[in-house]
Amino acid sequence: MNWLLVAATVVALLLLQGVRSFGHANAQQLFLRLFGRNLVALWLYALFMLPGTLLHEVAHVLAAFLLGVEVRGISLRPVLQEEEVILGAVESERTDMLRDGLVGLAPLMAGTVVISLIGMTTFGLEEAYRLMTAGQWFDALKTLTASLGHWRGWVNLYFVFVISLNMFPSPTDRRAWLPVGLLILLLVGLAGMVGLLRVVLEEAAVLINTLFGWFLLVLGFTLLIDLIALFLLIALHEAVAKQFGPP
């Protein structure tokens, strides 16, 4: 198993989490500057984020349905709580740690799949992956950004941006992760003690490395798209700030 891939994946997730916080904050401030601190700004901001919010909540619902977890309520109404905007929520029953953890993880999994599909169909992600494995990094970057010469590329850039900003699990989604993580660490420790972990890693090394490699590629692609979108968002924010002043 390539632990460097694992470490790089963790770093990419942390970077995207930072981008997520920065992107939400700038988008909120932009709508506040344009429309003032009122319900119009709140609802327009929620509408801007709607594709990502919808995918996030639908992923929760589908995961709950597949795992036999009762869904008690769904909301896509934005709510302002202590300077933070809650864009959506799914109320589900509390079950066991594993199912709660998987339901909480569903938006990240769904977001990764959808961004992968957009990347392959619009941005040439597979070709970029082939070029990167051949060491042709500049050609890979040209491939990923070539579609931005067409309006469809910019539309899909928007979708990738709002999906990535909303695919990370919320604190409520992560409530079962600590006990599940401790249980996994315990099982890994026991497997390591009896030598089973080494056998499993050796047998599944190719599959695991392939999965982590593709996941890392999707995260890197998402980070690239998010940085382009953030640059444009910040530029627009600055222009609006000069025109309208503080929110």
| Greatest alpha-carbon span in the chain | 67
Report how far residue 174's alpha carbon sits from residue 187's, in angstroms, rounded to the nearest whole number. Answer: 20
The Cα–Cα gap between 89 and 79 comes to 10
Q: What is the pLDDT of residues 151-182, one digit of tens each?
A: 899 999 999 999 999 988 877 766 655 555 55
Give the other-Cβ count within 10 Å of 216's Cβ. Answer: 19
* Spans of all domains in the chain: 3-34+97-244
CA 143/CA 153 separation, integer angstroms: 12
Two structure tokens written together for 215: 């996941």
Three-state SS string over the chain comes to: CCHHHHHHHHHHHHHHHHHHHHHHHHHHHHHHHHHCCCHHHHHHHHHHCHHHHHHHHHHHHHHHHHCCCCEEEEECCCEEECCEEECCEEEECCCCHHHHHHHHHHHHHHHHHHHHHHHHHHCCHHHHHHHHHCCCHHHHHHHHHHHHHCHHHHHHHHHHHHHHHHCCCCCCHHHHHHHHHHHHHHHHHHHHHCCHHHHHHHHHHHHHHHHHHHHHHHHHHHHHHHHHHHHHHHHHHHHHHHHHCCC
pLDDT the model gives residue 30:
84
State pTM to two decimals.
0.85
CA nearest neighbour of 144 among 170, 125, 167, 159: 125
Q: Tell me, what's the pLDDT at 180?
A: 53
Encode burial over 102-114: b for 16+ CB neighbours within 10 A, e otherwise: bbbbbbbebbbeb
Residue 146: how many other CB atoms lie within 10 Å: 14
Q: For the chain, which ranges sit under pLDDT 50?
A: none
Q: Which residue has the tokens 């604190």?
A: 171
Instruction: Please give the pLDDT value at position 222.
Output: 92
